[in-house]
């Protein structure tokens, strides 16, 4: 970068809602001989520190009007930002119309997102839609060859450092211009999303998606892939709100699996533990306390649990932490952890402990987005929850109270298992899970095999599937999947129903003496 590429600041316009660092920056600019233009509260804060600042209205000769809605939307501001310094005709026009160049703009926008987040009314939200701010940002970014644009407080330090070395570089101004357009795009996305919600539109004609970089990741699913973690500002309790208390840097796969585990554990009201491996639950249980829930969840598949992700829906205590830390665990995520639990995990330096500050409400609506070649798919979150009142008994025998509790539990777990999904459960704990198979009968057999393996590992004389219930995320297309579960020893079945062969499946259940209920709701997860 040559000396001629560096640009000094002779005139700066500072107008920010987040005033972090702005007074010290103004003092620095003034010391360098720059004229400071400002508005409203920013000008007041700068002057209160004894730094001279000229009101934009004084600079433009045009007063603020319409309750401040129009104050910078004038040629003296945008001409000063957009005028090219390398074109004599631009400079001549600026001189003719008494337009002074503006070399730096620091603007962060009206807090629209924060206003919506606190539940403000329609009119308050509209008043927090910034017009002049985005316009100045876009003008400055377009003319970045001659203008510095600052949109975030954390950018101030890098700009100041370059100014101390004689002026800002073109490389920095280009980076700041890209960040500026990304900021206004995200701002417009927030506004358009809110408007769509106000209008009752789930899928508007143009769907905008924006994210803020939380962290760069070492790599993606595989070492040759690049990856990063972005947050969307919705503040749903989970990874976006989590504080990492200890442990190594999280990987792409860690984050994906941890999200799957925490979303699953949020399904349960009682203390619950979910163990996930490769985005699928391999053990789930709820009990009177987390330590007991852990023991039951681990029993389901102790082999897969090694190196897994553990999620809890309660504050972790030392008793639960001791059990979890007894095997190799990649990540533990919970709403909180007491000091005893933190002390236990601190002995495992590589274990990542994430505390989210809360548990997401499974019923909260939202959109899920998945990329495909040439575009992306969007769908509403699967926030469906089956209750006992929704169930239809279709067999000669109805489930007992204990079977009914296990059926509802198993179907909630099924919602978080990759299709085709089969879940065996007993005593509010999974005892066998079959996931992601191309046909349902194989998922049934795999789940049964896992239940047998778990029993052997625990030194029990018979399969854990004996006396369990089975949940299927979608209907049994043939009786063979149900018959495989019956052979494993289940006593009751929960499934959506809706197959053209439902009568055959019902007849098979009756023949085996099973109770079966239909939910009328499917939970495919691909």
389-518: same fold as 240-355? yes
Confidence at residue 93, expressed as pLDDT on a 0 to 100 scale: 82
Which is catalytic among the residues 54, 90, 142, 270? Answer: 142
pLDDT surpassing 50 at residue 280: yes
Cα–Cα dist 139/152, whole Å: 17
Q: Is 277 labeled as catalytic in the residue annotation?
A: no
- Say which CATH topology domain 240-355 has: Cytidine Deaminase; domain 2 (3.40.140)
pLDDT surpassing 70 at residue 321: yes
Sign, CA torsion 94/95/99/102: positive
pLDDT surpassing 90 at residue 110: no
Confidence at residue 1, expressed as pLDDT on a 0 to 100 scale: 38
Confidence at residue 3, expressed as pLDDT on a 0 to 100 scale: 42
Confidence at residue 4, expressed as pLDDT on a 0 to 100 scale: 53
Confidence at residue 105, expressed as pLDDT on a 0 to 100 scale: 95
Beta-bridge partner residues of 274 = 284, 311
210 or 467: whose pLDDT is higher? 467
Cα–Cα dist 38/57, whole Å: 9
Tokens of 114: 């924060």
The answer to whether the CB of 128 falls within 8 A of the CB of 112 is: yes
| Average of per-residue pLDDT values in the chain | 92
Whole-angstrom CA distances from 282 to 17, 297, 414, 453, 487 are 48, 8, 11, 13, 22
- pLDDT for 173-232, tens place per residue? 999 999 999 999 999 999 999 999 999 999 898 888 888 899 999 999 999 999 999 998
Cα–Cα dist 132/110, whole Å: 10
345 or 54: whose pLDDT is higher? 345
Confidence at residue 9, expressed as pLDDT on a 0 to 100 scale: 86
CATH 3.40.140.20 fits 389-518, yes or no: yes
Main-chain dihedrals φ then ψ at residue 353, nearest 5 degrees:
-110, 120
pLDDT surpassing 70 at residue 517: yes
Q: Is 459 helix (H, G, I), strand (E, B) or coil?
A: coil
By DSSP bridging, strand 492-495 and strand 469-472 are parallel
- Give the pTM: 0.87
DSSP assignment of 286-327 equals: E-SSHHHHHHHHHHH-HHHHTTEEEEESS-B-HHHHHHHHTS
Find the length of the chain. Answer: 526
pLDDT surpassing 60 at residue 509: yes
Cα–Cα dist 162/174, whole Å: 14
Using alpha carbons only, what angle is made at residue 245 by residues 240 and 249, rounded to the nearest 5 degrees? 70
Which is catalytic among the residues 19, 278, 342, 348? Answer: 278
Arithmetic mean of pLDDT, 113-127: 90
CATH 3.40.50.1380 fits 7-198, yes or no: yes
Confidence at residue 2, expressed as pLDDT on a 0 to 100 scale: 44
Q: Is 142 labeled as catalytic in the residue annotation?
A: yes
What is the band of 431 on the pLDDT scale with cuts at 50, 70, 90? very high
Question: Which residue ranges make up each domain of the chain?
Answer: 7-198, 240-355, 389-518
The answer to whether the CB of 102 falls within 8 A of the CB of 13 is: yes
55 or 462: whose pLDDT is higher? 462
């Amino acid at each position: 970068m040559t000396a001629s590429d560096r640009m000094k600041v002779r005139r700066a316009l500072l107008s920010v809602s987040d005033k972090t660092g702005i007074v010290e920056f103004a003092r620095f600019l003034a010391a360098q001989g720059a004229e400071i233009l400002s508005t409203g509260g920013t000008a007041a804060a700068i002057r209160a520190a004894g730094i001279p600042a000229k009101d934009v209205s004084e600079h433009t000769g045009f007063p603020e009007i319409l309750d401040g809605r129009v104050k910078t939307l004038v040629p003296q501001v945008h001409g000063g930002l957009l005028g090219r310094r390398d074109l004599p005709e631009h400079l001549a026009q600026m001189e003719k119309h008494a337009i002074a160049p503006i070399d730096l703009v620091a603007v962060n926008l009206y807090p629209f997102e924060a206003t919506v987040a606190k539940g403000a009314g329609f009119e308050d939200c509209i008043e927090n839609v910034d017009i002049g701010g985005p316009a100045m940002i876009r003008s400055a970014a377009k003319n970045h060859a001659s203008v510095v644009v600052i949109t975030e407080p954390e950018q101030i330090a890098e700009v100041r450092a370059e100014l101390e070395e004689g002026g800002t570089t073109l490389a920095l101004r280009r980076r700041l211009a890209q960040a500026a357009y990304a900021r206004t795009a995200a701002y417009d996305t927030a506004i358009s999303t809110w408007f769509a919600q106000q209008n009752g539109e789930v899928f508007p004609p143009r769907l905008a998606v924006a994210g803020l970089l939380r962290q760069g990741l070492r790599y993606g699913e595989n070492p040759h892939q690049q990856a990063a973690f972005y947050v969307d500002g919705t503040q749903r309790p989970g990874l976006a709100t989590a504080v990492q208390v200890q442990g190594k840097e999280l990987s792409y796969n860690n984050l994906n699996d941890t999200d799957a585990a925490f979303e699953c554990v949020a399904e349960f009201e009682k203390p619950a533990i979910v163990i996930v491996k490769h985005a699928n639950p391999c053990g789930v249980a709820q009990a009177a306390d987390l330590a007991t829930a852990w023991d039951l969840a681990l029993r389901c598949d102790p082999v897969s649990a090694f190196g897994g992700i553990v999620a809890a829906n309660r504050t972790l205590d030392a008793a639960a932490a001791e059990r979890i830390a007894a095997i190799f665990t990649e990540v533990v995520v919970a709403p909180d952890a007491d000091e005893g639990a933190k002390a236990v995990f601190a002995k495992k330096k590589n274990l990542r402990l994430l505390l989210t500050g809360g548990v997401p409400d499974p019923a909260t609506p939202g959109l899920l987005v998945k990329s495909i070649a040439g575009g992306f798919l969007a769908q509403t979150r699967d926030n469906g929850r089956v209750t006992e009142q929704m169930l239809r008994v279709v067999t000669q025998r109805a489930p007992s109270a204990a079977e009914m509790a296990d059926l509802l539990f198993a179907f909630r777990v099924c919602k978080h298992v990759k299709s085709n999904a089969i879940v065996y459960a007993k005593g509010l704990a999974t005892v066998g899970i079959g996931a992601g198979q191309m046909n349902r009968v194989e998922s049934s057999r795999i789940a049964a095999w896992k239940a047998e393996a778990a029993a052997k590992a625990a030194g029990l004389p018979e399969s854990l599937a004996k006396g369990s219930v089975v949940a299927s995320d979608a209907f049994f297309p043939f009786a063979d999947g149900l018959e495989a579960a019956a052979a494993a020893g289940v006593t009751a079945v929960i499934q959506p129903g809706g197959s053209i062969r439902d009568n055959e499946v019902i007849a098979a259940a009756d023949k085996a003496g099973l109770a079966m209920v239909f939910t009328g709701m499917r939970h495919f997860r691909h």
